[in-house]
Structure 1
Amino acid sequence: MRFINPKIDFAFKKIFGSSQSTEILISFLNAILYEEESIIKSLEILDPYLGPQVAGAKNSYLDVKALLNDGTFVIIEMQVLKVQAFGKRVLYNAAKTYALQLTRGELYKQLRPVIALTITDFEMFRGEQDVISHFVFKERNRLSDYLQNDIELVFVELPKFKKELDRLETLTDKWIYFIKTTGTLDEVPQTMVTVPEIQKAFEIANQVSLTQEEFNILQQQEFFAQDQEGSVAVGREEGRQEGRQEGRQEGRQEAQIELITLSLNRLLGQLNPDIENRIQQLSIDQLDDLVTALWDFSSLEDLTTWLEANSQ
């Protein structure tokens, strides 16, 4: 067997955010968020796109969004590379999900809690050993909770998870191991088969179940992820050689533009000079946002709309 890599955007959404993923997502979230207690009984998987309320405002593209049976919203992001201002992006998406619940005339008491679960393939918090971190609003000195602790940020840092297959003890261990290693496995480990939801996740992750179109999208994203790592390395190396921060940023920006343009040409067809020029004018932050949105574009019109909203 060969399995798709859950750390790739398309694969993560297919495994955890598709119409057949409800029981998988319930098991996964109970394990990660609630220490394996069966707090979540049911949930609804929602459209993960967070559109702007006003023209020209910033779009947000999440990997998975769900509404739990108690009314809590959970938004999930899988991030392979640490990009500039990533921590701010996590907080922005959580705050936006919270704020967008209300429309004109609705009351603040109708707001429901939001949990932002972020899984990273890099270390977010250097010097800390915990694989899973939970952040909520606290009073600075007394460390008491705020009156409405409605926004919680949860991080799972995959590099800090060191357990091998024979040391997996809990459901939480097994789910983190699944995300971290499935792309490298050629069979379903026997210790994982005992969990029906994980077994189902492996079935969805089996490459045999993909259509040709899905396989092509997955392959493009895998190539792009590999090239992205290379672009970051190139930017750092050029920065070291030139001995200044601007060199590192400029090198990374040029490599990022080249990779994005190549991927969009493959995905949407040959870009016209005007679109290429607009992409070249984007800042590093805007290029990072474009990478996040890249695979949600199904036409050149989608790309043009994004550029109009985000490059002003």
Structure 2
Amino acid sequence: MKSKVLKRIPLERLMDLKIEYAFKQLFGNEKNKDITVVFLNAILQKTGRNRIIDISFENTEAGGEDPDDKRSKLDLLVTTDTGKVINVEIQFTNRHNMIKRSMYYWAGTYHRSFKKRMTYKELHPVIAINILNFNILNGTDRFHTTYHLYEDEENFQLTDDMEFHFIEMPKLIKDWKANKLDPWNNVLARWLLMLGIIDRKNDKVYADKKLRKAG
């Protein structure tokens, strides 16, 4: 029944939450702060971070070779339940060169957190979350991968100030269609499927684990 109802709704009437305006209205809006907190905690639970309890929305605009970059980023200053302050930046984009782009933004955010009369010890950790509408990492089939700085031989962590997340939406959809993903028992999967169920760029709607060409 749900599938039939969905098919009767024209694609132009369905909101693709991956587009800049919709994404920022949902996750970058002060009135939706509680939603953003839950979404971030679903992503960061994988790395064992303390739970986020509060968020402030930053207005800083990082420069880059593309003037549209600043519009695809969401900059947040979050506080955990232990009182730790962390900068979080989220990108939702179709652009490529994302590994270097993410490192560039990470460095800029880390640098900007250093204020006058601060010591280096007071620099905030920066977590970069890249939600991609394309696949970029050929070495894994997992849709969510995380990266830190570790010693090469003994594999101990140098610092938790640097953390990168790459979420590849096509891999998520592939797992969902192949029944390898149970969104009812995976809170992050539920959030990501909400973002990925409508793909306006490719004129597609995903419903009942079947790919349907809209229209």
* Class of the TM-score when normalised by the shorter of the 2 chains: 0.7 to 0.9
% identical aligned pairs: 24
1:163 is aligned to 2:176? yes
TM norm structure 1? 0.52
3-state DSSP of counterpart to 1:42 = strand
Q: 1:73 aligns with which of 48, 62, 87?
A: 87
Aligned counterpart, 1:284: none
The reply to whether residue 180 of structure 1 matches residue 191 of structure 2 is no
Q: Normalising by structure 2, what TM-score?
A: 0.73
Q: 2:37 touches 2:54 (CA, 8 Å); kept in 1?
A: yes
SS, match of residue 149 in structure 1: strand
| Kept after mapping to 1: 8 A contact 2:17/2:195 | yes
Are positions 1:113 and 2:125 aligned together?
A: yes
Determine the C-alpha separation between the residues in 1 that align with 2:108 and 2:69: 9
Give the structure with higher Rg (CA).
Answer: 1
1:10 CA drift (Å) = 1.8
Number of the residue aligned with 1:34:
45
> Quick one: distance in 2 between partners of 1:186 and 1:118?
22
2:20 to 4, 9, 15: 9
Q: For the aligned residues, what is the CA RMSD?
A: 2.9
CA distance in 1, matches of 2:118, 2:78: 21
- Measured in 2, the distance between the counterparts of 1:10 and 1:48 equals 18
| Partner deviation per Cα, 1:247-302 (whole Å, 9 max, x = no partner) | xxxxxxxxxxxxxxxxxxxxxxxxxxxxxxxxxxxxxxxxxxxxxxxxxxxxxxxx
Shift in alpha-carbon separation, 1:66–1:41, aligned structure 2, 3 A: same
Contact 1:46 1:67 in 2 (8 A): yes
**Paired amino acid for 1:21:** N
Asked if residue 94 in structure 1 is aligned to residue 106 in structure 2, the reply is yes
User: Is 2:197–2:206's contact at 8 Å kept on the other side of the alignment?
Assistant: no
Q: Aligned partners of 1:37, 1:105: CA distance in 2, in Å?
A: 28
Alpha carbons 1:75, 1:115 under 8 Å: kept? yes
Report how far residue 64 of structure 1 moved: 1.1
Instruction: Name the counterpart of 2:74.
Output: 64
Aligned counterpart, 2:211: none
Residues 31-78 of structure 1, C-alpha deviations (whole Å, 9 max, x = no match): 1111499711121122251369xxxxx996152111111301110000
Aligned pairs for 1:1-312 within 5 A: 2-35=13-46, 39-50=51-62, 61=70, 62-69=72-79, 70-81=84-95, 83=96, 85-146=97-158, 148-161=159-172, 162-164=175-177, 167-169=182-184, 170-182=186-198
Deviation at 1:115, TM superposition (A): 0.3
Unaligned runs of 5+ in 1: 53-57, 190-312
**Following TM superposition, by how much is the alpha carbon of 1:103 offset from its aligned partner in structure 2, in angstroms?**
3.2
From the superposition, tell whether residues 60 and 160 of structure 1 become closer, same or farther in structure 2 (CA, over 3 Å).
closer
Secondary structure of 2:107's aligned partner: helix
- Are residues 60 and 78 of structure 1, via their aligned partners in 2, closer, same or farther at CA, if it must alter by over 3 Å? closer
Per-residue Cα deviation, 1:75-97 (whole angstroms, up to 9, x for no partner) = 0000124x2x3211100101110
SS in 2 for 1:128: coil
